[in-house]
Chain A
Amino acid sequence: MAQATAVAHEGEHEETTTGLSHRKLLMWAFLGSDCMFFGSLIATYLVYQNKSKVGPFPEDVFSIPTTSVSTFVLLMSSMSMVLAYSALTRGSQKTFRIWLLSTAIMGMTFLAFQVFEFRDFADHELEFHCSEVDLSAGPIVADDHTLTAFQRNQLKEQCDAGKEEAVVDHGLTPRTNLFGTTFFTLTGFHGAHVTLGVIWLLSLFFYSFRQGGASASRELDIDLAALYWHFVDVVWIVIFTVVYLFGVFPGI
């Protein structure tokens, strides 16, 4: 094993035609290609923006304060990641582990926010006062939304049962409308990237307890993971602005 590790480390410092690490160059090439992946998803989201025939729409489900907090958490995770790298280059293994674990925890916190958000969107509901609803007067419109046949039946069943207030399912899933499809595809793929990043960081954290696992010779391994993690952060910076802020602002 020690021999294998030594070989691996020699590989990191091999001479190349560019004088640069090929692994790092490959990582940058991958990040460049991933930009195009997310660029296409964001463009698709924008193309279908305001094209949904039925709700819910972004302004119905988005909570800017909640998403701002999760954005802040992801930004801070980038700082802790770079501090972990900095600690490793200074040879401080304990500090390195603390910052690395902090980064992974903040990544998991961001994912928890995303799960909470998705769940909240799926459970979204509309409330009606049965006394104010006339089921015989054509399509029912509430908050600018025309109810679907399924929602109309839900409302009818509850009002016919004598309830004063009726609750109609108005959840957002990938199948609900164009907004749901493009939103969940975009943010879902970003979430998958974050999940992969968290697994990578935790792997590095546990590996750091092995002999030589947190030595300066592992610098490139941490650097590559850090680059990936910061990339996930910059993608979210764009998503937060384009999808969330532009999506809800009433003037747009």
Chain B
Amino acid sequence: MAEESGTQPDTGAAEAVHTGHPTPLTYFKVAMTLSAITAVEVGVFYVEDLGKGIIPILAVLSIAKFAMVAMFYMHLRYDSRLFTTFFVAGVVLAVSVALAVLTLFRFFA
């Protein structure tokens, strides 16, 4: 993208060297992975023996999906780190505010 020519793309992303973005095949693979993770989430949900152990499992799977969409579909992996900073700052603030509210109302007690 012309307006971002001054940015430093992730050198580890070989595909991005020529186009600045992944190929449609990569997008498809990401979609299949997201679908598989969703299927695992729903599958895990029906395992009642897990009890409260389901919380960290579902949380990790959810974070993985969130990260994949942000990195590949929103192109944060390939775009300027300033975009990542703006978004991550918002996410960190949101999580902090949520944790503060939950603590204030004794959610974890």
Interface residues of A (CB under 8 A from B): 12-13, 18-21, 24-25, 28-29, 31-36, 38-40, 42-44, 46-47, 64-65, 68, 71-72, 75-76, 78-79, 81-83, 85-86, 89, 219-220, 223, 226-227, 230-231, 233-234, 237-238, 240-242, 245-246, 248-252
> Can you list 7 A-B contacts with CB-CB less than 8 angstroms, sorted by A residue number?
A21-B3, A28-B87, A32-B89, A34-B90, A44-B101, A72-B35, A250-B48
Q: Are B7 and A19 in contact (CB under 8 A)?
A: yes
B86 touches A25 (CB 8 A): yes
Identify the closest chain B residue to A252 (Cβ).
B52
Query: Least Cβ distance of A179 to chain B in Å?
Result: 15
How many chain B residues touch the partner (CB < 8 A)? 56
Assembled-state Cα–Cα distance A226/B35 (Å): 19
Residues of B participating in the A interface, judged by any CB pair closer than 8 Å? 1-7, 19, 21, 23-24, 27-28, 30-31, 34-35, 38, 41-42, 45, 48, 50-52, 54-55, 58-59, 61-62, 65-66, 69-70, 72-74, 80, 82-83, 86-87, 89-91, 93-95, 97-99, 101-102, 105, 107
Kindly list chain B residues whose C-beta atoms are within 8 Å of the C-beta of A42: 98
Contact indicator B94/A38 (Cβ below 8 Å): yes
| B38 and A71 contacting across the interface, CB-CB below 8 Å | yes
CA distance A83 to B23 in the complex (A): 9
Smallest CB gap from A67: residue in B = B42
CB distance from B108 to the nearest CB of A (A): 10
Contacts of A240 in B (CB 8 A): 41, 62
Question: Given contacts A12-B3, A35-B94, A89-B19, are A64 and B83 in contact (CB under 8 A)?
Answer: no
A89 CB, nearest partner CB in chain B, Å: 7
Quick one: which of A25, A38, A43, A78 has the most chain B CB within 10 A?
A43
